[in-house]
Structure formats: structure tokens, C-alpha cells
Structure 1
Amino acid sequence: MSDPLDPVNRKILAELLANGRIPMSDLAEKVGLSKTPVSLRVRQMEEAGLITGYRAILSPMKLGLTHVTYVEVKMSDTRQSALDKFNEAVRAIAEVEECYMIAGGYDYLLKVRSRDMVHFRQIMAEKISSLPFLHATSSFVAMEAVVEQNWTPP
């Protein structure tokens, strides 16, 4: 595959993002190719690591997880061994939807989903505050999601 994101592959990816369970015959029809070349392209993108998997996307709202808080985390130790321990521990907290190592005044940014402020406070007290090498946190409550979507290739 010389250009992994040629126009046809971009169409395939857009369709798969909209419906990861689409039958290959339907996908082929939507992108204007026959089933065999589309199947080959999908397999090549999987093997190249462009497609890393397929999963169900759950609705946080329907699950009652309507409260989003962003938490900045400052570490007491930023040596690699400390970062590795923090990374492993934060991955085990189900309510942490996203975690990024960042540059600036803090070391990490967490996106935490909860039912409400009481639930968030419980997550902070029982889970986040006990993360290894955590020195300080600062929290920001989201009031409204203006843009919230999966990434699509340009």
C-alpha cells in the first residue's frame, strides 16, 4: 500500500468509523469498489496499524455518567520509573476516560466521567488521590460538550 490514506482508504475509514460492523459488501458499494479490493484494503490498513481494532462505543449519558471533570496532575517525581508506576495505576481507574502526559505547569491531564459531583469527589478521594507520586491536582468541571467526537482523518 503506497499511500495508506489515499481518497478511497479515507472513504473506507470514514464508513468504518460510522459503522464498524458494516458488511464488506455494503462497504464496497459505499466506496465504489467490489468486495475483494475493499477487503484487501481493510486488511492492509489493519496490518499497517492504521486500524487498531473495532469496539462498541457506549453512551456515557445513557449510562448516567453525565459529569465530566478534567484533572491536572502534578507529579512529585518525574523519573521514568515513577511515570511508569503512575501510568499503570491510572489505567486501572475505570472512571478515567482519557489520560495525557502534557507539557506545562502540570504533568498529566485526566478526563474523568462520573454521575455527579458527589461521585466525582468519591473518585478523587478514593482513587485519584492515591495514585503513586501524585503531588497536586487541579480540577475543572465541564459545563457543556461543544465538540465531542472520534477523530477522522483530514
Structure 2
Amino acid sequence: MEIRPLDDIDRRILRSLQRDGRLGNNHLAEEVGLSPSPCWQRTRRLEAEGYIKGYTAVLDQEKLGAPETVIIEVTLNRHDDAVLETFGRAMAELPEVLEVYLTTGEYDYYIKVAVDGTRGYEEFLRHKLYRVPGIQHSRSTFTLRCLKQGGISVPA
């Protein structure tokens, strides 16, 4: 499938859906200045071309009992395929883990986790993270407040 460059209407569709992924096609069409049929076709094309990877709900960590966010820097003891795959699978299975980034620099991974305070974090470390084979070292930072959350901004 040929991916064509985004035009202004595509960008308006993306901005509107990023702001509210639950917008129905009729409301979306009205917001971006199209009739419903072409709007639906453009949205489906944006999905097919991979500009829209999916739709999700943003959940309230505090109401779900995990109000604290911790950033963990992890160094692995080896970097062979088996260790990397085992680590990646383990991170995907841990419900506290929100995001995982393979990085350059001093640490191999940055992990963002949601926990219930210092006790919840200790529980996560002792009973989950430190049981993952291949971890050599970790360093943690509790966040104080999130100043910005969300995806990439749609370019003008």
C-alpha cells in the first residue's frame, strides 16, 4: 500500500481523535469539515497506513490503587538474545509496568511503573522485578508530578 503524505484534513482528523478517541464519525466529520463518508474513508486509510495504531482509554492510576509513578533504570548482566527476550517477556507480563524503553548510555532500560507508595514499590521490587533473570543493577526515581502526558503532537 502506498502511503501518501498527510494533508491538512488528515492532520485535523488525527488531532481530533488524539483529543477524543471516542468521537463518532459524524461528530468527527463535523469537527474537521467533511461529510461523514469521506471522513470515514480517510480515518480508515489513516488506520491502514499505520498513522493510527489503535485506540485506548487513559485510566486513573490513583483510583486503581497505584498513585505513584516510578522510573527504574536497569542494567542487564548480559546482552545476548536469550537474556533480552526473557527480560522483554517478563516486563510485558507485569501489570505495574506502564512503559519500557531500551536505551543507550549507562543503563540498558528505562521502565515506568505504577505502584501504591513505597510499600507497593518494595513489594514490586522484591517479589517481581528482582526475580527477573538477567538484572545486574537498577536505580529508581519516584516522580513528583506529571507535567505532560500523551502522544506525539500532529505536525502542522
> Taking structure 1 as the reference length, what is the TM-score of the superposition?
0.93
- Segments ≥4 residues shifted beyond 4 Å: none
Following superposition, the deviation at residue 151 of structure 1 comes to 2.6
* Structure 2 counterpart of 1:102: 103
The corresponding residue for 2:54 is 53
Instruction: Give unmatched runs, 5+ long, in structure 2.
Output: none
Matches within 5 A, 1:1-154: 2-3=4-5, 5-154=6-155
Residue-pair matches, total: 153
Q: CA deviation at 1:25?
A: 1.0
- Tell me how far 1:14 sits from its aligned partner: 1.1
Identical columns (%) = 31
Note the C-alpha offset of 1:80: 2.0
* Counterpart-to-counterpart distance in 2, 1:62 and 1:148: 17
1:60 Cα deviation after fit: 1.2
TM-score, normalised with respect to structure 2: 0.92
Listed as ranges, the gaps of 5+ residues in structure 1 are none
How many Å separate the matches in 2 of 1:12 and 1:65?
Answer: 33
1:91 CA displacement: 0.6
Q: Residues 72 and 106 of structure 1 are in contact (CA less than 8 Å); yes or no, is this contact kept in structure 2?
A: yes
CA distances 1:46-84 after superposition (whole Å, capped 9, x unpaired): 111111222222111322321111100000111122111
